[in-house]
Structure 1
Amino acid sequence: MRKKNSLKLWMASAILFSLFISCGQDRRERVDGEVLMVEEQGSFLAGGAAVTTPGIYNENDPTNPAGQTLHGDHAYVFYQKPLHARKYPLVFLHGNGESSKTWETTPDGREGFQNIFLRLGFSVYLVDQPRRGKAGRSMVSDSISVLPEEAFQFEIFRLGIWPEFFPDVQFPKDPQSLEQFMRQITPNTGAFDKHVVADAMSAVFDRTGEGVLVTHSMGGGPGWLTVIRNPKVRAVVAYEPGSSFIFPKGEVPAPMPTSCPYGALTADSVSLEQFTSLTRIPIIIYYGDNIPKEPTEHWGQDTWRVRLAMARLFAECINRHGGDAKVVHLPEIGIKGNTHFLFSDLNNLEISDLMFDFLHEKGLD
């Protein structure tokens, strides 16, 4: 009798959850108050390469590579599917120095986009790109330097000007949160290669089927290339893409000088046919706060000045060729204080609302 009652209770909960998802109730209430119910979760590896060394393997000489294989340059993917999942899953790709951790719990312990959008009924796929995190098996050798550089990270991620936070910053200012943030930074195990990442991401979409690609920072460049490679990408939401903007041959903007030690920002060239892939889907690009309008000696901000400017040229080019691209600079719509990690900032529920509204407007929810 107790088992029957438990089954009835579970079924009633599932029905109520389904009704809750299907009705138009407030998304923030859903995030804060509902029990998180997952129907399926798991992980897989996608894409990559493999080599076999000529020769015959000798079990008495196991460190000799002869006759042995090496698999690497794949992506690692952890996924969760909620009950009554929406049609299109969200595939999240991190940026430089990060892993899929960037989308998980925030440095101060709040829910990140992984759980926020899972609660909203989306299947979520969190990717570790090739040569990073749980996809660390690289097909090329590299060395990992041990160098104190967290003041550099603090400034380029626009938390402030070391060691002071920006007064209005949406990052928690307690030492514990900053420590958690710094500890999530992780190195490459092989040189970053946007084409290797894009190949692996295309393989991810072969597994997930049609879905929405959500990128951050350096993940933006491989994201555009993934769209070119795989028509299963139905839209792109890009948070502060920082490099490898692509333009058709003959339309590439001039390099944009900056005080950043990386030097001038340059764009990449692709064929018009390849570029046209970007015009077939909706694209939205978000940038946070504390990005100056004029050149400044504060390189951690100036580098984002030119990246925002390049993103606007990129969107204009897509639209000029008949596409649907938009750049949203959050302070211009009244949202202040966001860092480079706006999706994990203190107002990440507000940021998630913007993304949800975009998905709804484009019929992707």
Structure 2
Amino acid sequence: MVGFEQPHPFKEAHHHLSVMTKLYRSAAALVLSLPLLGLGQQQAAAPDPWAFTHSNQEKAIVLSHTGGFNIGSKIVADPRRPGQTITCDHGYFEYFIPLHSPPQGHLRRTTSLVLWHSSSTQTFQNRWDGGPGFKDLLLRLGYPVYLFEAPRLGRANWACKPHRYDVTYRDQDNFLAWNFGPSYLNWWPGLQWPEDPEVRRLSWEQATGGRYVEFDDYEHILLHAEVAAKGAVHTEQGAERGGVVYLTNSAAGLRALLAATLSDETVGKIRGIVAYESAGYVFPEGHNVTDRRDEPFGPLVVTQEAWRRLAKLDFVQFVWGDNHPETGSGFWDEMVVQSRLCAELINLYGGNAEVVKLKEDLGVVGNTHCPFTDMNNEVILGLLEERLERSGLDGFEGRVGKGKGKGKSKWRG
């Protein structure tokens, strides 16, 4: 009689632990070898992109306080039961505020950073391979960090309207949409992801599992933008604060652009937007762009008055990873083209916008749809630091930033 070994819980746990250990060892090994990655494909004429790299992970994160708040909620009456209401459709902000104590060498920046993904805050909390994410890297630099969860998503899912969840089998489509490779599990060569097959598999499971339901329709785009704008005003009520910069990914880019156009109240509060591979754009009326609010990713057309609010931001930066040739075919190629037109029109109205393609402009290779989750995310962080410095938004409390507003980028020449 053939016997079948029953799975032993301790054996299963030991296997999982060994795999996770391998995952984190891979992340640690990357930090030690980071300057050696990707240089073979760097353009000869470009500055050394690794000049941005600064591994400071031995520096402790010292916080003054943390917390969270709801904002933008509505109170809706129950039509069936008089006197009964629900408070709903709020957004949720979780915040991490660094300590400011100059004698001890702890300095806090005046600019706050709002980390905003259209479907999950997890993208900013860790790299997918388990390494440090943007949240911790930015806190080490002294920036107050806010994780934003938009209405009806994640920890803000108490909705004013009923909605139905239908299972959508999207793992294969997401692999392509997030720019991991040309077909499912056919990874791009030179990708900033672990080479070990088991670590790569686990990283992929983290990526595809780290998301919420996403509502891509105009009702939710507007709702998310309205609440994000209120959050930006609320977080900047202190006299010493220097405004917020939205760091967005994918469809959150469209919502952030719209948020900056909605009200004069946000002018001077929303200071900038960095949109990593934005899905969707806003344009001003009168420039031959057709408003498509019936589509999940626009484009959206706003009035000239609203557009001028966007042009008053200190800067807007659209960042793109590899494999977007702009040949005119495919959704993401079209999004790059739209980002260039959006930047051009912002600048036409006196604003300060630019499009950065990591490979073509910087020689930084191997990045995916979420470059801040890739293994070279410290390089991506360096680009952000340079942009904040150039805009004068890198100052510490009691000290102004180094930038001069609309100065040229050191990598543009």
- For 1:145-177, what per-residue CA distance to the aligned partner results, in whole angstroms no more than 9, with x for missing partners? 123220011111111121211112223351111
Deviation, 1:264, is: 11
Quote the offset at 1:293 in angstroms. 2.9
Normalized against structure 1, the TM-score is what? Answer: 0.82
Paired with 1:305 and 1:216, the residues of 2 have a C-alpha distance of: 16
Number of equivalenced pairs: 318
5+ residue gaps in structure 1? Answer: 1-25, 55-63, 257-261, 297-301
TM alignment of 1:190-229, pairs within 5 A = 193-209=220-236, 210-228=243-261, 229=263
User: 1:287, 1:328 within 8 Å by CA — same for their partners in 2?
Assistant: yes
Equivalent residue runs for 1:26-105 within 5 Å: 29=54, 31-53=56-78, 65-84=81-100, 85-95=108-118, 98-105=119-126
Q: Which amino acid aligns with 1:338?
A: N
SS of 1:164's partner is coil
Report matched runs for 1:1-365 at 5 Å: 29=54, 31-53=56-78, 65-84=81-100, 85-95=108-118, 98-160=119-181, 161-172=183-194, 174-188=200-214, 193-209=220-236, 210-228=243-261, 229=263, 230-231=266-267, 232-243=269-280, 245-253=281-289, 266-281=298-313, 282-296=315-329, 302-332=330-360, 333-365=362-394
Q: Aligned partner of 2:233: which letter?
A: D
Distance 2:98 2:129 in 1: 25
Distance 2:180 2:214 in 1: 23
Q: Assess if the C-alpha contact under 8 Å between 2:52 and 2:383 holds in 1.
A: no
Question: 1: distance between equivalents of 2:70 and 2:295?
Answer: 35
Residue 7 of structure 1: aligned partner:
none
CA distance in 1, matches of 2:85, 2:297: 39
Contact 1:255 1:264 in 2 (8 A): no
Provide the C-alpha distance between the structure 2 equivalents of 1:88 and 1:190, rounded to a whole number of angstroms.
30
Cα RMSD over matched residues? 2.3
Whether the 8 Å contact between 2:52 and 2:379 is mirrored in structure 1 is no
Once structures 1 and 2 are overlaid, which stretch shifts more, 142-151 or 353-362? 142-151
CA distance in 2, matches of 1:273, 1:94: 27
Confirm or deny: 8 A CA contact 1:265 1:307 kept in the other structure.
Answer: no
Measure the CA separation in 2 of the matches of 1:142 and 1:270: 28
Residues in 1 aligned to 2:276 and 2:139: alpha-carbon distance in whole angstroms: 19
| 1:65 Cα deviation after fit | 4.2
Change (3 A) 1:144 1:190: farther
Specify the SS of the correspondent of 1:32: coil
Q: Which moved further from structure 2: 181-190 or 219-228?
A: 181-190
What is the CA deviation profile of residues 283-313 of structure 1, one whole-angstrom value per residue up to 9, with x for unaligned ones? 11101111123245xxxxx211000000000
Could you say what secondary structure the match of 2:155 adopts?
coil
Matched-pair identity in %: 31
CA deviation string 1:84-110 (max 9, x = no partner): 210111011112xx2111110122111
Gap change, CA 1:360 and 1:274, over 3 Å in 2: same
Alpha-carbon shift at residue 189 of structure 1 (Å): 7.6
Q: Which residue of 2 aligns with 1:57?
A: none
Give the Cα separation in 2 of the matches to 1:159 and 1:197.
28
- Classify the secondary structure of the residue corresponding to 1:134: helix
User: Is 2:54–2:378's contact at 8 Å kept on the other side of the alignment?
Assistant: no
Unmatched tracts of structure 2, length 5 or more: 1-50, 101-107, 237-242, 395-413
Q: 1:255 to 1:224 in 2, by over 3 A?
A: closer
Q: Is the 8 A contact 1:77 1:125 kept in 2?
A: yes
> What is the CA-CA distance between 1:337 and the residue it aligns to?
1.4
Higher relative contact order (CA 8 A, sep 6+): 2
2:95–2:145 CA contact under 8 A, matched in 1: yes
Q: Distance in 2 between matches of 1:27 and 1:122?
A: 18
Question: AA paired with 1:205?
Answer: A
